[in-house]
C-alpha cells in the first residue's frame, strides 16, 4: 500500500507517476504490497522509481563496457582519472570531476578491472549521475573511493548492508552465497548482483543470467566433496531512497 503525505493512493491516483514499463512494474509491486509504504510526496516516489530504473540501466551498461574482473591485488584503472590505492581500490584524482571519472569507467571499461562488490557501487554511482545530473552529482560526491563496501560515502552506506525485506525489486543489490567454495578460488565465495527484473540478475564476472545459471556457475567452484549448494540470500542491500532524495533537494 502506497501512502503519500498520509493519504492512501488509489491506482487511478498513481497513474502518470511512472515513466516506462519497468517503472510501472515496480510501481505496481509497491502498490500491491501488504505493507504500508510512506512517501512524503509524489516526487519522492517518482525519485525511487527513476533511480531503480536507472540502476538497472547502469548495470546493463556496465556489462557492455567490457570492464574486466580481477581480485584487488590485480585490479586496474584509468590513471587519467583514478589513483590505484595499495589496497587495490580506485581513488578519484585531485582536480578531476567525479561525473567524468564515473562516466569513463563505462566508456573505457577495458582500462578497468575489479571484483563484483566494487562493480555494484559503480552501478549506483552511475545511476545517481543519471538521475541527478552532472552538477548536483559533483557537489554531493566531491570525493569518491571505489573499493567494495570500504570507504563508502555515507549516502550509499545501506548498499553495503544486507537486510531482509518483505519483497525485493529491480534495482536492489542481492547476493548469491557459496558456502562450500573451493579455498583455491575464494573470489567465488559469492556473487553480488543487481536485480534487473526479478528473473535476471547482473553480476560482474558472470554476466546477466537467471538465478539458476548463476547458481550453477558458483557450484562449479566448490570444494571437492561439497554437499551444500550456492543459494540466493533472502536479503538485499537497498539504497536509502529517502536520504538520497533529500540530499539533492538540500544541496
In the chain, where are the structural domains located?
Answer: 173-232
How many C-beta atoms surround the C-beta of residue 9 within 10 A? 19
SS3 201: strand
Residue written as grid cell 545459471: 213
Sign of the Cα pseudo-torsion (92, 201, 248, 133, in order) = positive
CA angle 129, 135, 136 (to 5 degrees): 65
pLDDT tens per residue across all 251 residues of the chain? 999 999 999 878 898 898 799 999 999 999 999 999 999 999 999 999 999 999 999 999 999 999 999 999 999 999 999 999 999 999 999 999 999 999 999 999 999 999 999 999 999 999 999 999 999 999 999 999 999 999 999 999 999 999 999 999 999 999 999 999 999 999 999 999 999 999 999 999 999 999 999 999 999 999 999 999 999 999 999 999 999 999 987 66
Residue 82 contacts by C-beta under 8 Å, 6 or more apart in sequence? Answer: 90, 91, 92, 93, 96, 101, 146
Strands 145-146 vs 90-92: parallel, antiparallel or unpaired = antiparallel
Note whether 147 and 112 are within 8 A (CB).
Answer: no
Note whether 114 and 150 are within 8 A (CB).
Answer: no
Residue written as grid cell 574486466: 68
**9 half-sphere exposure, CB direction, 13 A CA radius:** 26
Direct distance between the N- and C-terminal alpha carbons of the chain, in angstroms, rounded to an integer: 31
Strands 37-39 vs 2-4: parallel, antiparallel or unpaired = parallel
Amino acid at each position: 500500500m502506497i501512502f503519500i503525505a498520509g493519504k492512501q493512493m488509489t491506482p487511478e491516483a498513481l497513474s502518470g507517476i511512472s515513466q516506462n514499463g519497468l517503472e510501472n512494474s515496480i510501481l505496481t509491486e509497491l502498490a500491491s504490497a501488504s505493507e504500508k509504504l510512506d512517501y512524503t510526496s509524489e516526487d519522492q516516489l517518482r525519485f525511487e522509481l527513476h533511480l531503480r530504473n536507472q540502476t538497472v540501466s547502469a548495470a546493463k551498461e556496465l556489462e557492455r563496457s567490457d570492464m574486466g574482473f580481477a581480485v584487488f591485488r590485480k585490479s586496474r584503472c584509468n590513471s587519467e582519472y583514478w589513483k590505484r590505492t595499495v589496497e587495490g581500490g580506485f581513488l578519484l584524482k585531485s582536480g578531476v570531476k567525479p561525473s567524468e571519472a564515473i562516466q569513463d569507467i563505462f566508456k573505457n571499461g577495458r582500462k578497468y578491472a575489479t571484483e563484483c562488490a566494487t562493480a555494484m557501487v559503480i552501478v549506483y554511482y552511475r545511476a545517481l549521475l543519471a538521475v541527478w545530473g552532472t552538477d548536483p552529482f559533483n557537489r554531493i560526491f566531491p570525493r569518491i573511493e571505489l573499493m567494495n563496501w570500504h570507504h563508502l560515502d555515507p549516502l550509499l552506506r545501506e548498499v553495503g548492508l544486507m537486510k531482509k525485506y518483505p519483497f525485493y525489486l529491480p534495482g536492489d543489490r542481492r547476493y548469491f552465497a557459496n558456502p562450500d567454495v573451493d579455498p583455491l578460488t575464494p573470489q567465488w565465495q559469492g556473487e553480488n548482483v543487481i536485480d534487473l527484473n526479478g528473473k535476471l540478475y547482473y553480476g560482474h564476472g558472470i554476466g546477466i543470467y537467471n538465478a539458476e545459471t548463476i547458481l550453477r556457475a558458483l557450484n562449479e567452484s566448490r570444494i571437492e566433496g561439497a554437499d551444500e549448494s550456492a543459494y540466493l540470500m533472502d536479503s538485499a542491500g537497498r539504497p536509502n531512497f529517502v536520504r538520497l532524495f533529500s540530499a539533492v533537494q538540500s544541496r
